[in-house]
Amino acid sequence: MNTPLLSIVIPSRNNTPEVINIFNELKHQSFQDFNFIVVDDNSDDCSQYNTIMDDNFFLYEYPGKWKFGLCKKYNYGFKQAIAKKSKYIYVLQSDMKINSTSLLKELTSYMEENETCGAVGPIVKNAAGTVCWGNGVKKIRMGHEFNISESFLMRTECLIKHGLWNETFIYYGEEMDFFIRLRKDGYTTHGLANASVTHYGGGTTSYSPNQKDYHRPRYAILMIKLHNSEDSLYKKVMFFYSELSEQRAKILRTIKKFQLFGMFRILFLVIAGTFVGLVTSKEVS
């Protein structure tokens, strides 16, 4: 079996048609030196995958029981890609649409030409067409600048050298934590202007408001513990406060509507997430 230059890793749970559609889209890419790794997370029915007769398609059953979050599933897929000796790994999600036939070529070409780049991503648009990530985007999280997320190409050697994604993060933070670790070792991250995907949202797994309100403060505390230890207490508090803008807005809405149960529910989840973040080990798992 030939060693591919690129492995594409995508998790799946009860969204087989979307994953197959993505795979069929990839067949039209001008760059074809890749394999497609699906990590199925305890789906009710995977029989549709049996219709795919392609040597570059690999289906792996996630060995653990279903649990919220994607980090562990991606890591499981990364391990398969590492075993196949792929030079690069592309992170993709089933609720995405590829917008050009040159996406993989542009990403791999940039990495081949820029040896200090640890991760490169396309422009990521939402369903309304708004650019969320990629070239020209700068988002500050806990004092760190990020320009790519959700869909990007990584050097496999970086995963081997710096470790897989930190499974302490469940909903938010695993990508940002990895990018920070890359930069500390001299690698860069880059967003391309000539490649894009659309992320519709909701197809990878189902997220409830309860989970968001719990995991946002949890992730913020973990990020501060891992990467902002030298900042002042004031800065740490302000970083945390900034990350909870959505939760603060929701609490204000419930107060205006006299929805006391909703207000206390959000407050309870935020406090619970904060507490768990404080007591969780900050070491990379």
Within 13 Å of residue 4, how many CA atoms lie on the same side as its CB?
24
pTM of the model: 0.91
- The residue count of the chain comes to 285
240: enclosing H helix or E strand: helix 233-243
- DSSP 3-state of 232: coil
- At residue 285, the pLDDT reads 44
Residues 6 or more apart whose CB falls under 8 angstroms from that of 107 comprise 88, 90, 120, 121, 122, 153, 192, 195
- Under 8 Å between Cβ of 9 and 77: yes
Angle between helices 209-227 and 245-256 (to 10 degrees): 140
pLDDT in tens, the chain (285 residues): 578 899 999 999 888 999 999 999 999 999 999 999 999 988 888 888 888 889 999 999 999 887 777 899 999 999 999 999 999 999 999 999 999 999 999 999 999 999 999 999 999 999 999 999 999 999 999 999 999 999 999 999 999 998 999 999 988 899 999 999 999 999 999 999 999 999 997 544 445 667 889 999 999 999 999 999 999 999 999 999 999 999 999 999 999 999 999 999 999 999 999 999 999 876 544
Residue labelled with tokens 């699906």: 38
Residues of the chain with CATH 3.90.550.10: 6-199
In whole angstroms, give the CA distance from residue 285 to residue 283: 6
Q: Please tell me the CATH superfamily of domain 6-199, with its number.
A: Spore Coat Polysaccharide Biosynthesis Protein SpsA; Chain A (3.90.550.10)
Count other C-beta atoms under 10 Å from residue 285's C-beta: 13
Count other C-beta atoms under 10 Å from residue 22's C-beta: 24
Measured between its terminal Cα atoms, the distance across the chain in Å is 32
- Under 8 Å between Cβ of 171 and 67: no
